């Protein structure tokens, strides 16, 4: 089945959409669990299905280094290799390369870097990024971009934004698989003139989808909101919009309110491994001694396996004992919470009640954070 996109309902700027992919439909707004090396840490593909995941993100940089994209192609791509039958999205690998500032050098050709695993030298160009993603076989793939740091002067962000457009053209020219939807990535930092220029240059290339990169890199939240508000009327209504690397439950609500359809972030899985749970009553740190004899479920309002099965006391015991079961149980809950939150967001959009839902959930989270658990 070819890639297609349909807006099914709106409520203010919020959108409820349907994305059809070769590996199944994705209803939006959607959160994509991050499976950096082809797996969401601590969970099996069965767990992901049971928790309500519909699409998983995998990382081009890490998979090209280990086990290698050509081996993955021989073994059936990500789907054949991992056993996950739903859609995959892969990033371009550029962000990981650029974040390794002491190990890389960027030119117009691409990024030259040394592996963080063994120090071997590699080149990641737009063409090579597309080749890797072709071998990985994801349903949605990203054009290579340059993500400038924050803060950075206007001139430096301007140069990175212009290079992102040039690399987008090269990515598009190298892209061959019709069963993969190639997204362009809007850059420009917190500068609205650069964001608008980047978006309009990418629109001229007519990508099937558009991502917004370079946010949640240290800028104030109000700057992220300002950028998204500026881009909302510019980005086409008939294409999916993906906000990369964001974020907290509050970030998801604010992103949807500004027209975003797709999100990914390591926060729910990484924080779970560090003992922090996201709940309808605020964040809960399971390491806190107050939970040592607490027989309540982690979130009394959550129907996930973890909350149906174990107590806060047991989770704290497992975490303090260094048992890997703790990470699995808490990751299950955090992803269930994120996915259920966006499921309810979607329902509120279909009912034309998103703004009321957003305000009530933000109020509940703020009260919970103030009062504690």
Is the Cβ–Cβ distance between 60 and 91 less than 8 Å? yes
Maximum Cα–Cα distance across the chain: 60
Can you tell me the distance from the alpha carbon of 256 to that of 28, in angstroms, rounded to the nearest whole number? 10
Catalytically annotated residue among 69, 139, 251, 264: 264
Residue of 92, 136, 86 whose CA lies nearest to 110? 92
What are the two backbone dihedrals, phi and then psi, of residue 314, each rounded to the nearest 5 degrees?
-70, -40
Cα 72–Cα 76–Cα 79 angle in degrees, nearest 5: 95
Can you tell me the distance from the alpha carbon of 304 to that of 306, in angstroms, rounded to the nearest whole number? 6
Q: What tokens does 1 get?
A: 């089945």
Whether 294 sits among the annotated catalytic residues: the reply is no
Whether 179 sits among the annotated catalytic residues: the reply is no
Can you tell me the distance from the alpha carbon of 87 to that of 53, in angstroms, rounded to the nearest whole number? 10
Catalytically annotated residue among 91, 139, 158, 299: 91
Q: For the chain, first and last CA: distance in Å?
A: 47
Residues with a known catalytic role = 91, 264
């Amino acid at each position: 089945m070819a890639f297609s996109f349909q807006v099914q309902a709106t409520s203010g700027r919020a959108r409820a959409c349907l994305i059809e992919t070769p590996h199944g439909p994705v209803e939006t707004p959607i959160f994509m669990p991050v499976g950096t090396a082809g797996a969401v840490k601590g969970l099996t593909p069965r767990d992901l299905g049971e928790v309500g995941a519909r699409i998983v993100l995998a990382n081009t940089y890490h998979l090209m280094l280990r086990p290698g994209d050509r081996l993955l192609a021989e073994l059936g791509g990500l789907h054949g290799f991992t056993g996950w039958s739903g859609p995959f999205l892969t990033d371009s690998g550029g962000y990981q390369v650029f974040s390794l500032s002491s190990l890389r050098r960027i030119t117009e050709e691409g990024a030259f870097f040394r592996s963080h695993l063994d120090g071997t030298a590699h080149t990641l160009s737009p063409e090579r990024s597309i080749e890797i993603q072709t071998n990985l076989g994801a349903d949605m793939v990203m054009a290579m971009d340059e993500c400038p740091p924050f803060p950075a002067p206007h001139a430096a962000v301007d140069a990175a934004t212009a290079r992102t457009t040039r690399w987008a053209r090269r990515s598009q020219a190298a892209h061959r698989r019709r069963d993969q939807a190639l997204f362009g990535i809007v850059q420009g930092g917190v500068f609205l003139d650069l964001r608008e220029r980047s978006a309009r240059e990418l629109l001229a290339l007519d990508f099937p989808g558009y991502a917004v990169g370079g946010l949640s890199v240290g800028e104030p939240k109000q700057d992220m909101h300002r950028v998204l508000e500026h881009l909302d009327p510019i980005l086409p209504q008939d294409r999916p919009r993906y906000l990369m690397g964001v974020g907290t439950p509050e970030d998801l609500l604010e992103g949807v309110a500004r027209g975003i359809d797709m999100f990914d972030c390591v926060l729910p899985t990484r924080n779970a491994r560090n003992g922090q749970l996201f709940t309808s009553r605020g964040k809960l740190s399971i390491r806190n001694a107050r939970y040592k004899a607490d027989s309540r479920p982690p979130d009394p309002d959550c129907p996930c396996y973890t909350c149906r099965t174990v107590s806060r006391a047991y989770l704290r015991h497992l975490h303090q004992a260094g048992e890997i079961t703790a990470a699995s149980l808490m990751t299950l809950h955090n992803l269930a919470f994120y996915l259920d939150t966006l499921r309810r967001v979607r329902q509120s959009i279909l009912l034309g009640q998103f703004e009321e839902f957003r305000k009530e959930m933000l109020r509940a989270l703020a009260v919970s954070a103030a009062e504690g658990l």
